[in-house]
Homo-oligomer: A and B are copies of this chain.
Amino acid sequence: MSKKVVIVGGVAAGPKAACHLKRSQPDWDVTIVDQDNLISYGGCGIPYYVGGDVTEEKELRSTSFNMVRDASFFADTKGVNVLTRTRALAIDRQHKKLQVKNLDSGAEQELPYDTLMLATGAAPVVLPIPGADLDGVFTVADLHKAIEIKQRIAGGKVGQVVVIGGGAIGLEMAESFADLWGLETTLVEFMPQLLPRLIDADFATMLQRHLEEMNVTVFTGEGATEIVGDSEGRAVAVTTAKRTLPADLVIMAAGVRPRSELAQEAGLAVEPWGGITVNNRLQTSDPDIYAAGDCIAVKHLVTGKQAFAPMGSLANREGRVAADNMAGLATTFEGAVGSFIMKAFDRCIAATGLTYEAALAEGFAADYSLTAPDDRAHFFPTSASVAFQLVFDKRTRQILGLQCFGMMNDSISARINAAAVMISKRATIEDCMLAEMAYAPPFSAAVDSLNAAACVADNICAGRMRSLSMQRFSAWMDDFSREPDWLVLDIRHPTEAQPFVEKFGAEKWLAIVYDKVRTQYNEIPQDKTLIIFCGSGNRAYDIQIFLDYMGLRNSFVVAGGMKVIRWMGAEWLPQS
């Protein structure tokens, strides 16, 4: 029997559900309503459109075979009706009707439905600060804003940009301004680190350092307090508690929140933070109303809690599951592990599952291995080092999360995706140690970087390896009086160790090269706590084992070693 399905929202989850539903139920009447005239676009591509990697906005709403996805495309190729410039005003659940208004004509009408689906997406947060409504202040809300931002820059009217917010969108926008347009770009983030909650602090530091190398000025721990305008109402500066930053263009990228007002007003269950509550078939509290995309609450597969996961990729998956269930096909959407990846100039940063900080906060017996493996066989010419942080539960040995920072290529995807599958399947350290990563020297090391991270986790769990956090090591390097009995044992090549010995003196920085420690270990003072230091932590671990065996059990490994320190940057490093 043919049914009427109405879908509110035409960007990602909505069109995906509509098209998939029409394929399983070609005789159903499927209508999408969207208040915009531009629909079905790759919103995640906006920074690449602004930055010029994507030349025209049409590319963001075209298929791979170059057809523009507008209302007639959906009618002609999919048999899906689309009402653009049509705002959903209210849901009459009793009579199963959606009240809508045409934004051009002002005409209102009621659309009857058998099944309704909400794909209302997310809206950018507009900070409640003075000047938020000035000319030249933009959120990255939709394609119209993107077009306007690009036009303004292309028109030569912009020299200085301030981006408010160091989340993924803010960072991607900052890159697009600095990279192609060469604008003087400053980013302010209220929290003490970039990508708060998505990555741990060390990784945020590595990212920030690279942005700074690429001429993006970054201030963390500084929220924007005001946007200053000139007499004509144009933004000219952003102020924080510490400074005033001149700006011709201000991007407010302070996060997004689910658009759930329609659901709320219709009395549907909504999480306290605004996400529409759904079951694993993506039904809301009204079984005839489905919801998918950025507007819903998604179960986090590690914590089991309802979470906000506004990702175009999840929206598409959810759209398909919602469509199947509307059609009576029993597929389920069980939740998400929260995979995330981002290009930042010449680097890639990614994470999946929980950060160490989040895992601790959730009550896990969390620990992590910090490693700096090569992304492929070290003898292969394109090989480069990567930083990995594998978060696990010491008690259950469950893998909880992975973070990676490295070169801009797909090698990090290759590990993050595998880890995401593992995490969703509640894999253990053993699973991760033995995971079969496809091996040939141009693609991987024989012990793949992901396997290696799990091996270190295993060493930590087994009590064989004791490591020192970067924070604690750096704090001590800044102020030796914190731990007067500490001594670095640098086992790198003498030419690498020499500048450190010269700078800090042998009483703080003792150099004995790796392959001489077994014969020269009696040169090591017995009354010191040794901080064993090498390029990545691997050799240091070997030496820790040996010294333990020799009765010198008071040592820590600097996990990640010199590689991670160099990526993070440190004032105390000798000039090279």
Contacts and interface: CB of A to CB of B under 8 A. Distances in A.
Interface of A: 12, 16, 19, 22-24, 26-27, 42, 44-45, 48, 53-54, 59-60, 62-67, 73, 76-79, 168, 172, 311-317, 320-321, 329, 331-334, 336-343, 348, 350, 352, 374, 377-381, 408-411, 413-418, 420-422, 424-425, 427, 430, 433-444, 446-448, 450-451, 455, 459, 462, 464, 492-493, 514-516, 518-519, 534-536, 539, 541-542, 545-546, 548-549
Nearest to A62: B379
Contacts of A408: 442
A379 B41 CA distance: 11
Contact of A416 (B19, B438, B446): B438
A379 B446 contact: no
16 contacts: A24-B462, A26-B549, A44-B441, A44-B446, A48-B441, A54-B381, A77-B514, A77-B539, A312-B439, A331-B430, A409-B410, A410-B410, A410-B413, A410-B414, A413-B414, A417-B418
Given A435-B421, A545-B26, A73 B515 contact: yes
B67 A313 contact: no
A250 B448 CA distance: 33
Contacts of A418: 417-418, 420-421
Give the one of A64, A76, A455 with max B CB within 10 A: A64
Contacts of A352: 436, 438
Contacts of A492: 65
A38 to B, nearest CB: 15
A290 to B, nearest CB: 16
Contacts of A79: 518, 546
Given A44-B440, A341-B440, A418-B420, 16 more contacts: A16-B447, A45-B441, A48-B441, A48-B442, A54-B381, A59-B379, A64-B536, A76-B516, A76-B518, A336-B436, A339-B437, A409-B410, A413-B437, A415-B417, A417-B435, A424-B436
Contacts of A409: 409-410
Give the one of A12, A338, A409 with max B CB within 10 A: A409
A62 B515 CA distance: 14
Contacts of A413: 410-411, 413-414, 437-438, 443-444
Give the one of A12, A437, A535, A541 with max B CB within 10 A: A437
